[in-house]
Amino acid sequence: MKWFLRMWSYVVNPLFIPSLVSLWYFNFNYYSDPESVRLKLYLILILTAAIPLLIYTMLKILGWVDSIHLSRTKERILPLCIYMVLLVMLLRGTFTDGLHLSLYYFFIGVLIASFVATLITSLRYKISLHLMATGGVLGFLIMLSFTQGISLLLPLAIMGIVSGLTATSRLSMKAHKGHELIFGFSLGLASQILAFSYFVS
């Protein structure tokens, strides 16, 4: 069981979540601009996964980080700051057509959560980025269901299970304490609600 929980922690790495959410969103929603959607997916993958992984590799070579989980708080600040810059580039360069606003506000929520996580990390508090990501997805699904008036019970149930498995995995690896997991999950969830509340208003 431990090997599965350890592997699961790598599978649900926060860097992969935005790309997976975007892929699900475009498969779930109707659109009439396939070329635009394809370009957006490429940019999302490059800016939220490929470039951060490349930067992690460089930091690993330089000896500034020990693992992809960024176990120590001092390892997290620079990658989080770079990630926020990439998110701003994504928001300013990818959604200029005014389409797919739900996904736009999802990334606004991710940016808010990343900003708060950076502030908390600078105070030497090790918030769970894994649970922040899964909480963010759950918040996105809740707000998507609310704003579009559709039932997303199955995706919500799946994300509930994913969040539970992720929390169990992080505890099993002794990567976090319980309150760090709860704080991370709550931050991800609240950031999406905050972002979408502006969308609704």
Reported as a single tens digit per residue, the pLDDT across 141-196 is 999 998 888 889 999 999 999 999 999 888 888 878 889 999 999 999 999 999 99
| Nearest-angstrom CA–CA distance, 60 and 53 | 10
| Nearest-angstrom CA–CA distance, 82 and 1 | 35
Half-sphere exposure of 48 toward its Cβ, with a 13 Å CA cutoff?
A: 26
Q: What is the chain's mean pLDDT, rounded?
A: 89
Instruction: Give the per-residue pLDDT at 69.
Output: 65
Buried/exposed code over 126-153 (b: 16+ C-beta within 10 A; e: otherwise): bbbbbbbbbbbbbbbbbbbeeeeeeebe
The H or E element containing residue 193 is helix 178-200
In contact, 69 and 40? CB cutoff 8 Å: no
Q: pLDDT above 70 covers what percent of the chain? A: 97
Tell me the domain boundaries of the chain: 16-200
| pLDDT tens figures, 43-78 | 999 999 999 999 988 988 888 887 766 777 788 899
